[in-house]
Amino acid sequence: MGFDSDVLILGSGPAGYVAGIRAAQLGMKALVVEKGKTGGVCLNRGCIPTKALIKQAEDFLSLAEVEKTGVKVDRSGFQYKSVFETSRKASESLSKGVQYLLKKNGVGFIQGTARISGPHQVTLDDGRVLTGKNLLLATGSRPRQIPGFEFDGTDILSSDHALFLEELPARMLIIGGGAIGCEFAHVMNAFGVEVTVAEMMDHLLPQEDPDTAAIVERAFRKRKIDLRTGARVAGYQRREGELVVPVTLKDGTAEELVTDKILVVTGRAQNTDDLGLERVGIVTERGAVPVNSHYQTVVPSIYAVGDIIASPQLAHLASAEGEAAVEHMAGKGPEHAVDPLLVPRGVYTDPQVAGFGLTETNAKAQGKRYAVSLFSYRAAGKAVATGKTDGQVKLVYDPDTKEILGAGIVGADATEIIHEVLLAKKSGLKTEDIAGMIHAHPTLSEAIMEAARGAEGWMIHA
């Protein structure tokens, strides 16, 4: 029986378009259906435009450093609209790039909204039916709304709204101190917005260790970002043109936060509700599509990857899952199986945060035998010379075998230098291998070498 394609992919984000190209490489006929813009959230309303904003924010912040040399900087002509437009250009250029890549690899592309109408077929909004030997669901996620703070795009913003602001408010309250909240706090504060961050957990970046988060919190406080951790909010009132949010802190104290805009970034909801899953008997668990280790749903011809499954919502993980799924469809077994302990994560604040594997908190909770080696950025020559002393490298390792269990780096360039440790872990190298490798001086990577030497008992610059 003939199908229109070997794999019919719903969604063209980092999961969908990468899966399409990988499928084509494996000789499969792939077809991608996208209802919005090619590239998905990552390129259009996520990773990419935020990085464009962050780069410009950091340029703007660096003016203060230049001023220390006596130069007078006139900021009066500053227009946030121009910052916004630059971020859109980056998105549009990369979105077009994805279209080009799909075309170049012979991956079919259809603009439209598709719903599953059978184990091997979807129906488009215009009634057309497309068939595929396999379906790959990669429909992604959207900002999650919380009760009491329904998005309206004016007062209550989602990350989507915040990315499309063309002018900045005087004050912004950010609800949610995870990666997205912290990155927006960084950008908004850099451009002069009075920022308050309210986080329900005890510290910002709740997935990181408290000592890692503390370095970011300290840097934020220095920049006069107001932090409220252990904070509960239930709603807001409009009062004389201002927004007032009652907050209850852990110790029971209550206060009112007054602001102009509220950005709610407490998580992302899977786009699974209007997919036709019920037509083929797929039942979501807390919004996520259940899959096996090959990303197959209960319907063997239908796979799901990326933000709609229960794994961490990261673009690079989505891509890796997309690749693994189509490799399995092609009968190639797990050529690049995804190991959850080898998935890096990054937060693009100043200082940056990056990590993979077990945090110390994870290791403790799992009852693992572990040890920790820390090396502070302020003991690294490059960090001192460039004024980037806020930071540390933390290695979590097995004290008996010296196997690396995880790493957490906070500091300048953390999201880049983490990969040395990750490659070591992936290759089964131990702390002695990093400790004994000559690292160029002066570099921030030396801090990684020193932390590894700490595990080996011969840290030099301690």
Q: Which residues are catalytic?
A: 441
> Measured from the CB atom, is 217 or 323 closer to another protein?
217
Shortest distance, position 222 Cβ to another protein, whole Å:
4
| CB contact at 8 A, 193 and 169 | yes
Shortest distance, position 218 Cβ to another protein, whole Å:
5
Residue 439 DSSP one-character state: -
Closest CA to 204 of 304, 59, 347: 347
> Measured from the CB atom, is 37 or 453 closer to another protein?
453
Shortest distance, position 216 Cβ to another protein, whole Å:
12
Return d(Cα 22, Cα 319) in angstroms, integer.
10
Give the containing element (helix H, strand E) for 157: strand 156-157
E strand residue ranges, 220-361: 226-228, 231-233, 237-239, 242-249, 254-259, 261-264, 268-270, 302-304, 345-347, 352-357
Shortest distance, position 131 Cβ to another protein, whole Å:
60
Non-local CB neighbours of 416 within 8 Å, separated by 6+ positions:
none
Angle, CA of 455, 460 and 462, to the nearest 5°:
80
Non-local CB neighbours of 148 within 8 Å, separated by 6+ positions:
233, 234, 235, 236
> Measured from the CB atom, is 224 or 286 closer to another protein?
224
> Measured from the CB atom, is 378 or 439 closer to another protein?
378
Closest CA to 198 of 234, 174, 180: 174
> Measured from the CB atom, is 209 or 390 closer to another protein?
390
List interacting residues with another protein (CB under 8 A): 214-215, 217-218, 221-222, 224, 226, 253, 376, 378-379, 389-390
Return d(Cα 304, Cα 329) in angstroms, integer.
12
Beta strands 121-124 and 114-118: pairing type?
Answer: antiparallel
Shortest distance, position 241 Cβ to another protein, whole Å:
21
